[in-house]
Amino acid sequence: MNDLIVEDLSNVSISYFSNATDAQNNSNVLNNTFNYSASSHIIYTRMEDLNTGCIGYGSFTLQINPNPIANKPNDLRYCDDDFDGILQFNLFETANEILGSQNFSEYEITYHTTLIDAEEDTNPLDFSHETNQSETIFVRLEHRNTGCYDTTEFITTVLPLPVIPVEDVVAFCTDDLPLVINANTGNSGDTYLWSNGATSPEITLNSVTEIGDYWVTVTKAVTGCNFTKNFSVIESQQAPLNLSTTVNFADPNSITVNIDQTATGDYRFILDNGEPQTSNVFDNVPIGRHEITVIDLNGCNPAYDTVFIFDIPKFLTPNNDGFFDTWHITGASQLPGTVVYIYNRHGKLLKMLPHTALGWDGTFNGQHMPADDYWFSADIVHDGESFNIKGHFALKR
């Protein structure tokens, strides 16, 4: 209080007393630390000029204002609204609990993210405050007239919604019945209510007449948070395959995947380990064995099959290097009953090759045939059908 009483303290001695008599007699001087016993005290002062010895007297009232009581409110706990863990909270919901019986008009409530901010009354938050997962909020309750304040705190928590493991579209696979739709969250005590009235974690559909729009509401046992999942059940099926290859030995070859026109799935086609495609035709397919997969985007089981691409080699190089040392229809062993005849340019039959033969090695009666064009006539048997292919190839030495 000294610097409030006089401006220059260098030549003044100030003492404090509980009554005017003590001040006059300079007795019973109060300690610098004063323990108050009432809401108001009159303090008497004795001021002595150290140079002149002149003495002055005065008094002031020490008013003791009570501190407000910031009651600790209940934590704010609300269910998430969109699975992101972020939610807007109205912090002012806690005001009545913080005030208790204190008069609302006499106090100001502010909210802060740290205790230091609350104590220093800095960086107050908007009443509408966004919380990510969970956050501690610090409160400052201040008397509007006295400036006295108290602090408290509470926690805002975003409660997670139940995660329902049901897709937006569920395939009713007519070749794989019944259809079981399972909404089980894996949390014991969660409750379920389906649009058809069922209260179990899963429902079973047996007939195509049951396709349509459904919903299921799951309520969490501990928090009471609930979420409703809307979904559609649509008819679909595994792709009914009727694979065919263009076995006309065209160059290049292709594979066409034929599916029954009445099939209800949404299909994509995969050759070997390639990328799915919407077209059911694979062009420029190399010779040999290939795996075909047809997937249903609606969720029914994939369909698989194997195709072998046949080809006519364009040349023969019998030099024992391991490449094209013999000539035969590539994949002939996959065509039982097929017979190939090889002729020279003059039409003389040089070799007959059944489907089991390793191929022609470029000899006739033990003699090496000269480099030239040679002709073939192939009686092909494939999938119960017979047809003939003629052409020529080169023998190179």
Report how far residue 154's alpha carbon sits from residue 132's, in angstroms, rounded to the nearest whole number: 15
Whether the per-residue pLDDT at 363 is higher than 70: the answer is yes
Report how far residue 376's alpha carbon sits from residue 301's, in angstroms, rounded to the nearest whole number: 45
Q: What is the pLDDT of residues 165-223, one digit of tens each?
A: 999 999 999 999 999 999 999 999 999 999 999 999 999 999 999 999 999 999 999 99
Q: What residue ranges do the domains of the chain occupy? A: 2-63, 76-159, 169-235, 241-309, 315-395
Same topology between domain 76-159 and domain 241-309: yes
Whether the per-residue pLDDT at 24 is higher than 70: the answer is yes
> Which has the minimum average pLDDT: 25-39, 268-282, 333-347?
25-39
Cβ neighbours for 293, distance < 8 A, ≥ 6 positions apart: 269, 270, 302, 303, 304
How is domain 76-159 classified at the CATH fold level?
A: Immunoglobulin-like (2.60.40)
Of the candidate CATH numbers 2.40.128, 2.60.40, 3.30.1360, 3.30.750, the domain formed by 315-395 belongs to 2.60.40
Whether the per-residue pLDDT at 263 is higher than 70: the answer is yes
Q: What is the mean pLDDT of residues 13-19?
A: 93
What was the pLDDT predicted at 203?
98
What was the pLDDT predicted at 247?
47
Q: What is the mean pLDDT of residues 23-42?
A: 89
Report how far residue 113's alpha carbon sits from residue 115's, in angstroms, rounded to the nearest whole number: 7
Residue % of the chain over a pLDDT of 90 = 76
Q: What is the mean pLDDT of residues 313-326?
A: 92
Of the candidate CATH numbers 2.60.40, 1.10.10, 3.40.1000, 3.40.1710, the domain formed by 241-309 belongs to 2.60.40
Averaged pLDDT score across all residues of the chain: 92
The answer to whether the pTM exceeds 0.85 is no
